[in-house]
């Protein structure tokens, strides 16, 4: 408020004398009272500032690189919204799934989804901690997404759909982290992993719909949603959007990912 030339730049107001910054002020009146405290604070802040000869530029101070990118903004929003910074996650990204599926997968391996056993640990008073699908076992993350008989039958069908030569997926790490199965090329491993993440995401969605809206658990419908949703998300994120054929995806997605790689537009 006391600056006499409002358009003055920082460089106009800081002089460097023997590597020390000195204020070169032009006040409209001599600062006094509380303004003196503010001036002392300002001098303190400016004492470490050095001005270069480069032209002025914008800096995105919310990212350490100083450069604004949509991913740095998206990371910031995730940090605020979910309390996590996806850049620091130990789980490698998978470019075939939306951010929300990636975040969900990360939460799953951190045991951070609100299954009944986890809510109970937090002291939330629940009527029961048994699985809402089978009503027979304590609902843990592994049980809810992998081991519940209502869920494992769906995994068997997914493995069959993908022509995987393993009989079952036995825990969360196998579903989220491991890419074990038949020998896949790197793109194949990513697509198989994306499919498993999407399956977990959809299984959890249907579990919630049953718990909160009383929707009936319908395995055939869930399988078909996993197939169509994975097709939609993966094909939209592949380099040539049209090159995965829906009927082929439905019939045998491993067609696209057999080793050695077949030339396709997936990538
Ligand atoms: Zn169960």
Over residues 106-126, the pLDDT tens digits come to 999 888 899 999 999 988 888
Range(s) of the domain holding residue 12: 1-57
Residues 82 and 96 in one domain: no
Residues 100 and 64 in one domain: no
pLDDT of residue 166: 75
Residues 65 and 41 in one domain: no
Last residue of a domain, one of 66, 88, 110: 88
Residues 193 and 247 in one domain: yes
User: Ligand 1 centre and the CA of 245: distance in Å?
Assistant: 35
Q: Is residue 44 part of a domain?
A: yes
Q: Is residue 71 part of a domain?
A: yes
Q: Which of 240, 165, 237, 239 is nearest to 194 (CA)?
A: 237
User: Ligand 1 centre and the CA of 140: distance in Å?
Assistant: 9
pLDDT of residue 43: 84
Residue 191 near residue 234, CB atoms below 8 Å: yes
User: Ligand 1 centre and the CA of 142: distance in Å?
Assistant: 10
Residues 111 and 237 in one domain: yes
| Element at 201 (helix H, strand E) | helix 186-213
User: Ligand 1 centre and the CA of 250: distance in Å?
Assistant: 28
Whole-number Å distance between alpha carbons of 129 and 80: 30
pLDDT of residue 150: 96
Report the domain count for the chain.
Answer: 3
Residues 104 and 179 in one domain: yes
pLDDT of residue 81: 67
Q: Which of 177, 206, 167, 204 is nearest to 94 (CA)?
A: 177
- Residues of the chain below pLDDT 50: 260-264
| 102's tokens | 């990636």
Residues 63 and 143 in one domain: no
Region of residue 163 (left: phi > 0; alpha: psi -120 to 50; beta: else): left
Whole-number Å distance between alpha carbons of 203 and 88: 26
User: Ligand 1 centre and the CA of 151: distance in Å?
Assistant: 8
Q: What is the pTM of this model?
A: 0.66
Residues 62 and 111 in one domain: no
Q: Is residue 118 part of a domain?
A: yes
Q: Is residue 266 part of a domain?
A: no
User: Ligand 1 centre and the CA of 90: distance in Å?
Assistant: 29
User: Ligand 1 centre and the CA of 85: distance in Å?
Assistant: 32
| 91's tokens | 């789980």
By the 10 Å C-beta count (0-12 exposed, 13-18 middle, 19+ buried), 88 is classed as exposed
Whole-number Å distance between alpha carbons of 137 and 129: 8
Residues 200 and 102 in one domain: yes
Q: Is residue 267 part of a domain?
A: no
User: Ligand 1 centre and the CA of 148: distance in Å?
Assistant: 4
């Amino acid at each position: 408020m006391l600056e006499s030339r409002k358009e003055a730049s920082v460089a106009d107001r800081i002089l460097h004398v023997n590597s020390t910054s000195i204020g070169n002020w032009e006040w409209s009146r001599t600062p006094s009272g509380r303004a003196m405290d503010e001036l002392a604070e300002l001098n303190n802040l400016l004492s470490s500032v050095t001005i270069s000869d480069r032209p002025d530029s914008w800096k995105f101070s919310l990212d350490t690189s100083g450069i604004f990118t949509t991913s740095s903004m998206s990371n910031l929003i995730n940090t605020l919204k979910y309390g996590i910074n996806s850049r620091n996650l130990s789980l490698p990204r998978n470019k075939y799934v939306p951010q929300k599926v990636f975040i969900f997968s990360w939460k799953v391996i951190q045991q951070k989804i609100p299954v009944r056993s986890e809510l109970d640990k937090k002291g939330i008073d629940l009527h029961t901690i048994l699985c809402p699908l089978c009503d027979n076992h304590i609902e843990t993350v592994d049980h809810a997404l992998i081991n519940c008989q209502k869920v494992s039958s769906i995994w068997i069908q997914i493995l069959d759909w993908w022509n995987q030569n393993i009989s079952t997926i036995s825990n969360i790490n196998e579903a989220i982290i491991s890419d074990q199965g038949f020998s896949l090329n790197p793109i194949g491993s990513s697509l198989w992993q994306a499919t498993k993440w999407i399956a977990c995401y959809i299984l959890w969605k249907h579990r919630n719909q049953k718990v909160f809206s009383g929707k009936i658990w319908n395995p055939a419908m869930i399988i078909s949603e996993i197939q169509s949703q994975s097709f939609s998300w993966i094909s939209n994120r592949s380099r040539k959007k049209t090159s995965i054929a829906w009927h082929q995806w439905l019939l045998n997605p491993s067609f696209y990912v057999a080793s050695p790689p077949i030339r396709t537009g997936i990538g």
